Structure 1
């Protein structure tokens, strides 16, 4: 959410378990009856050479933010001590401009978004380069246990702190409005009835350019979905992102909500008009085949031109 997201691809999703248009209040939800878990890093793997499919042109990346080519990317599960870095990266990438002069409040809103996406997440993976988290995926597979069962309780505490501040309360109202719009789009499309998984958050830092972080995260998630028997998955995105990436991956657009058709959006005008919202879905196996066919087609065209 917010106008600063146009330089990075992402997916963001509402809670697929939400129903109704009533105001979201996580304190009224029944918490998961499950003992607390600690998110523990697992053995890491190294990335292979790959195109940076998710990162925008170099003109949008500061030269001094690009790591040395000799560095290699490590992929591992999200750890609890990663959250401050994840929240900071989210805030720098998608933080609300009206809150830029109040960094603690901006960080609090970004923390709420991260925790919202983490709620219900059953798989969270980060891409790390030289000890710095530069990308991540949060995903939810039906029937699997959430990694963070106390997310609702954490969200309730964040909401209380935001409501105690005049500007924060406006930010919270508009955030909840955004989530409700996504929930309505899910119900209209009935996407939950034909999918078994959801990509809830896909974030790649501009500082990751040239290291294939986005492509690596994407392929690893598709392999995970296939391993878990997922036939079809879905995600939310909007027009501040390069939605063409999902077309390139072989996904289809199942539903859209065009902001110009909803003049009632953001009556408080704090963050401007809400973006156009989209729901995309795809099949993990078809995504892989689509990329192979696309690559073969490009190779054939180059061969015909003698390149």
Structure 2
């Protein structure tokens, strides 16, 4: 019965064709979903805005500074803590010649304040505000203790710079590097860091330094392959106000702009290649499942780690 055999074969061919078309349709839908997901990721990242600082940003910077490093001792006073935080921000801002603010949908996400040798500070008004705030702090015992402790810490910073020679060898200083807690997972810290390095490179800054301490993520600078050129440990034998207001460990890191920027750019390319490879691997596995139709396959849960 050749005619019957041909008919059965045609039916079989049509079934296989329909199965292949269905499989291809599912694969196409999944690929479209993957492309849409990738586009959403790009749009989320693009919502981060990096811009120069305005004077009106001081309030947001101070609020996040206090949230991150606020010191309410010795009176456990939120008001005193905010005044101290504002003083720190003004002290870092006064000599700053370059600024970057990161915003997500208009919300403050982070900032960098830098001082480059030979350039004019952007906000001379900060010095006047700083003097006025010092007068206000000096009106109370707690405020005077705070001023004394901060002055001692400042003296330590200056001495560390002189002893290490970084004050002579450096073209610029990172005065403040602040990333909001709400910025976690949005790449704000990395974006601010890279933008600062690019600004330094454009301005001809060959070498820069920064102060950090045990209240911060000092390991970040080790990861960036910066060099710790000075360290000071605060002990119980030091001045009581210094112990009360200063972090336990203070460090100075120094680095060469072009080398660190090159590492950052290389790392960015490596992470991009890894991400694209992962996406391709997931798509390949999905396509293979469509073709082989494995009924016992169980989808693996994916856990994303927030930075």
Question: Given the two structures, how large is their TM-score scaled by the length of structure 2?
Answer: 0.70
Deviation, 1:259, is 2.3
Partner of residue 60 from structure 2, selected from 85, 89, 99: 85
Provide Cα deviations, 1:272-291, integer angstroms capped at 9, x if missing partner.
77421111011111012223
Contact 1:136 1:202 in 2 (8 A): yes
- By relative contact order (CA 8 Å, sep 6+), the higher-ranking structure is 1
In structure 1, which of residues 240, 243, 247 is the aligned counterpart of residue 218 of structure 2?
243
Of 93, 96, 100, 1:118 maps to: 93
Q: Say which SS state the counterpart of residue 108 (structure 1) adopts.
A: helix
Alignment match, 1:216: 191
Deviation at 1:151, TM superposition (A): 2.4
| Inter-partner Cα distance in structure 1 for 2:45 and 2:97 | 33
1:268-287 matched pairs, under 5 angstroms? 268=241, 271=244, 274-287=247-260
Moved more, 148-157 or 91-100: 91-100
Distance (whole Å) between structure 2 residues aligned to residue 129 and residue 295 of structure 1:
21
Matched, 1:289 2:223: no
Distance, in Å, in 2 between the alignment partners of 1:75 and 1:297 is 23
SS at match of 2:163: helix
**1:44 matched to which residue of 2?**
none
**SS state of the match for residue 271, structure 1?**
helix
Q: What residue is the counterpart of 2:30 in the other structure?
A: none
Q: Which residue of 1 aligns with 2:125?
A: 150
Q: Which residue of 2 aligns with 1:42?
A: none
User: Aligned partners of 2:111 and 2:252: how far apart in 1?
Assistant: 20
Which structure: larger Rg?
A: 2
Task: For 2:170 and 2:245, locate their aligned partners in 1 and report how far apart those are by CA, in whole Å.
Answer: 33
Check 1:273–1:193 CA distance in 2 against 1; reply closer, same or farther (3 A cut): closer
Question: Residue 129 of structure 2: SS of its match in structure 1?
Answer: helix
Are the structure 2 counterparts of residues 235 and 177 from structure 1 closer, same or farther at C-alpha, using a change threshold of 3 Å? Answer: same
RMSD over equivalenced CA pairs, Å? 2.7
Q: Distance in 1 between matches of 2:45 and 2:226?
A: 33
Please state how far the C-alpha of 1:180 moved relative to its aligned partner: 1.2
Separation in 2, partners of 1:161, 1:188: 34
Q: Contact (CA 8 Å) 2:169, 2:207: kept in 1 or not?
A: yes
Match for residue 127 of structure 1 among 99, 102, 107: 102
Runs of 4+ in 1 over 4 A off after TM superposition: 68-71, 292-300
* Alpha carbons of structure 1 residues 85 and 99: separation in structure 2 relative to 1, 3 Å: farther
Segment of structure 1 superposing worse, 197-206 or 70-79? 70-79
Whether the aligned pair in 2 keeps the contact of 1:250 and 1:286 (CA below 8 Å) is: no
Task: Report what 2:143 is aligned to.
Answer: 168
**How big is the shift at 1:266?**
3.5
> How much does 1:265 deviate?
2.3
TM superposition shift of 1:297: 8.1
Question: SS of the residue aligned with 2:209?
Answer: strand
Cα displacement (A) at 1:173: 0.9
